Structure formats: C-alpha cells, structure tokens
Structure 1
Amino acid sequence: MRENWRFSAIIVVFLSVLAVPVRALAVEGPTVAGPIGGTDIRSAIMPLPGLYGGFITVGAGTIDFLDRHGETIPALRDAQLYKELVGPFLYYVPNFKVFGGSVGFGGIIPGGNQCGSLFIGQRDRCNQGVGDPYVEFDWGRYYGTPRPSRNPNAYPILEGLNLMLGFGMVIPSGQYDNADTLARVLSMGTNIWDFAPSIALTYTTRPILAEGTEFSAKAYYNTYLENPETHYLTGDLINIDWAVSEHIGRFQVGVAGFYAIQIGDDEFFGVPIPPDGLRAETLQLGPVIGYDIPEHATSMKLKALTSAFAYNTVTAWSVVFGVFKKF
C-alpha cells in the first residue's frame, strides 16, 4: 500500500457542480498496491530462503490539487495534506523450488499521523491510527550468473534477468471515519478492498559505468471493490514503480519513479462520474540510494520523489526510508 493520496477532495468539486449533495457523496481515498513507499531497486529479486523483516517510514505532503487538464482547482487552492507513516513488515521465503523458482509471502501494516485541511477557512485537523494491511504472494526466478563485487565486503551482483510474478491485496481493516469529507480524507484506512496481480523485472548489466547498471520495474493492476458505506467504486488502475541505478560496492545509486494511470471510470451508485470518470494519471521522479551491510544481513534505502505531472489527482512530495534484515 502506497503513501500517495487519491483524488478524494476533487470529487467534491465536480459533484457539487452537478448539484449532488456533498453529504451523500462517497469521497474516496483508495491506495495502490505495494508496500508504503513503493518498490524501486531490486524489485524482482527474490531473497534467499529465510525470514526477513524491517520497517519503512514515509513523510509526504500535497503540493496542489489538479483537475483533468492539470490546472489548479480554485476551491482547493489552499488545501494541504501531510502525513507521517511507519510500517513494520515481515517476508518469508521457504526453502523449496516451484517451477525452478522460489516463492515468498509477506505483509506490512502501516500506521501514523495524517493532518490537513481542504477548503478556505477550514482549520487543520489530524488523525492518528492504524491503516489497511497489505499482503502479497510472489514467485520469482533468476536467469543469469552472479559475480563478486570489486568490494570484497559487498554482496555479489546478480548479473542477468530476475523475473517475479505476484498477487497483492489491501485488506480494509484500518481506521476509517465517514463523518465528513475531511474525516474520510484523513482516515488511515480506506474501507475498500484492492486486488492486484503484479509482474516485476530486474536486469543488471555487466560492468559499464561502475559495477553494473540495474534496470528495475514492477507493475500492479489494481481492481477495487465498492466502498459499502458510500457506494463509490474506483476504476481499475495500473501503477508502475521503477528505477535505473548503478552498483558501486555496498552502494546502489540512481533515479526512481512512480507512474499511475487509471483505465476505468469512477462510479457513484453505478453511474460513471462525468465528464471523464475522474480518471487519474501521475508521474513522480526522484533520487534513490541503497546501502548494504552484509555482516549484519541488513540493507537500507532512502528515496525522495516529487510529482512531474498529474491529472485528476494531487501533486505531492514524499521521502521514504526503509531497513530490510534477515533474521
């Protein structure tokens, strides 16, 4: 489950133009599949058999609320939302093969603080709690030949192709408040099931710039169920996390990105939202750096993203820090 805000507040503006009472609206904020902070480097690499765990922390904030033309919505020109999240996770890889590859499964439960306001003159409010858990089952296989790093204290480099297929699910058990528009936006949970098959590829070249250039991407196809409290249905959405990075001893440094495009219309009581189904699209870009500590079976990652463009959604910034360890 990711840290980004969906198009929740903008729905109010469009439907108010249509004279639909705001109190009757389903102002939605579904997430996209994947752990908070997303995936980027090594996204298709299945760990060796064993139990892994760690945590991911995210700080994020909105910059602007944009319509389908990418223009600021006047009614939301002063809107601002920000959040601080932390998510402990576990991931287990059993010691057996399936079709020549490995299987793994894990989950993450985010929690934290969300604050902000939407409309002119509205006071900031905050909400703390636990969000919706995200679980995922994966199958992965490596097609290549590992080679040692030039740094004898670094992990080997997996030159070649890694493939991963998975299925993820957001379980709507987090704190959810349907009292009013802002309460829904600031809720830690979404009250919406999300089912998402995924495919990931990671390809690492031979040494060219330093010790090998890695191209990595993971795509999810999100299918949402209707929110039973509000009768709002979010259209199918594809999100892709990617990174291009270089291996340099214990470090991995590069550029990361997140792209999402909604391919189905949002619906309210089964009726598509005019004029375009509120189909969202966004691209975020920024630097990423990873650091391995093999003597402690630990890796760390720091990433910062900001929006390059957005339509029918918000522009935002985020900073992500994570620690991954084998027990």
Structure 2
Amino acid sequence: MEVSQHVRAILSFVEAADVGSFSAAARKLGISAAAVSKNVAALEQVLGVRLMNRTTRKINLTEEGAAFLSQARIALGALDSAVDNLVASKVEMSGHVKIATSAAFGREYLLPVLPGLFELYPGLTVDVDFDDRMRELIHDGYDIAIRGGRIVDSSLITRPVCRLKTVLAASPDYLAIHGAPQIPEDLTRHRLIARRFLGGRINPWGFKSQDGSLTTVDPQPAVLTLSAPEALVQAAVAGMGIAQIGIHHAMQYLESGQLKAVLLGQYDPGSYEMVIQYPHRTLIAPRVKVTVDYLLAAFARNPSLHFPEEKLTAYQFRQGDE
C-alpha cells in the first residue's frame, strides 16, 4: 500500500470509528460507504489484525483497533500541523495582536524584543496594554497575556517563560551603616521596603528553617511601601532599606555592585513564575502562534530571566563591601 493509500485508509478508519458507521463516515469524507469499507479492510490486511467488528447496524472497535485509533489520531494531527506550518511559511504573516502584560515586564523585556518580531513579520501590528491587573483575555479582547506570580489552574493555554526568583537586597552604603542581618529576626531592627499588591495585600517574606519548614516575616512596619516592583529596586539602590526584589529586576544592580544580597541560604526565593497565556491551542490564529513562538524563544535567550539562584553568592554582602 502506497503512502497516499495509507493516509486515505487511516482517515477512513478514524472517521468510521468517530461516527460509528461507514455510511456516516462516507458522508463526511465525500466518498461512498463501499469505499470506506474497502479502505478499512485494506488497512486491516496490511496490519494483519482486525480493527473493527461490523454488524448491519454498527461497528465496534476491537482491542487492537482501540489501540491503533489513538496512534492514528496522533499521526493525522502531525500531518495537519506539517501542512499548516508549510502554508504559513509561504504566506506573508499579517494581522493584529493584542497583548496584556505588567508595566515592569513590558518595558524591560517585551519592548526590547518587539523590533525582532517586526523584522520577521513586517505585516504584524501589536497593541500592548501595560497593566498590572489580571485581565480576562477573552472578555477583554486580548490575544496573549504575559503574567507573573503564582499561576492557578486555568482554561487558558499556559506556556512557561521562566521561574521568578526573588532576593533580599540593599545598597552597600545602607548595609555599611546599619549592618547586614545575619538571621531573619535581625530584620526587626532594619528599615524595610515592602511591596503592596493592587488588592492591598502586603507581600510577606519567606524563610527556610533548619528543619526544612517555612516561616514568613511580615515586613511591617515598613519605612516605605510601594506597589511597583521596579520602584522597589530604585528605593533599595537609593539606600532606603532592605527590599524583596525579583532577581530579573535586580540583576544589573547586583552585577554593578549597587545592590548586595542578604540572608542567602535562609531566605526562600518563592515559587513564582512568568508565563504566556492564550485562549486556544488547536484554534490559535497564525498571527498569535508566530508571536507566542517568537516571544518564548526571545525570552529564553535573556540570561537575567534564567539566572541560577546558587550564583547569587557572588553578590552577597561581605564586610568591606561598603
């Protein structure tokens, strides 16, 4: 049996299994019921097993037929994807993509990679909404959301970008004056910079105990409370106190020496993540698919989004760093 005959036979088998009869499958495929029956019989002959038990009223899959059906679906799906990808590569990609993301991530990471997207797909246009609120993608008309935090189960398709680790950091000048905390309890004697989320909740700081348990410290009363993550970095660099900062926000300041990490090994960096979400996998529009694929590849190449936590020891405050 030639490859084209294989495809026709497998398609006849899958359709017949789905609708439960050769005649119904024939109507969907636009061929005769006899042709469907002939295709399935030829497939069984090639495989050397019976796939279906036929009666005058219905067909039933054999055990071998049920096992083959799942593999056949995968094969047909791969074939469809190959055709779609080939067609997409031949047609100039165009259309409008609406993206929701946070202000900080949008400015620092999304905007710098958009020129590369336009270079690849000059027919695309993009509308980015910088908003830290969680948006309802479908209701609000967005194609893509780039979100950070503890991502809950969702009906949306979720593609991971990176883990969002945090660090406690302060400026060398601040630590030279006030000293570096050695244990979490020392924080009560320090000037703390707290993060307040839009709902009003103050983000607690987590710590690992020697027995493996986790404890939290409420950074209150804080000398300064801010809602924007990038503002936390700026306040810490200015010497206002100790702040909990995303490593991806703090990296350039740690590397330049403007910030120093404290309580490494005791501080729990959290289990936050950055993801790209969109409504559908199988019905995703080509303009959205190429945008998602491009952004995932671009973010994967950014070292500050994938900095190993264990390398933070190089940026830990040590006496004499002031």
TM-score for both structures, normalised by structure 1: 0.22
Higher strand share: 1
Bigger fraction of residues in helix: 2
- With normalisation by structure 2, the TM-score equals 0.22
- Which has the higher Rg, Structure 1 or Structure 2? 2
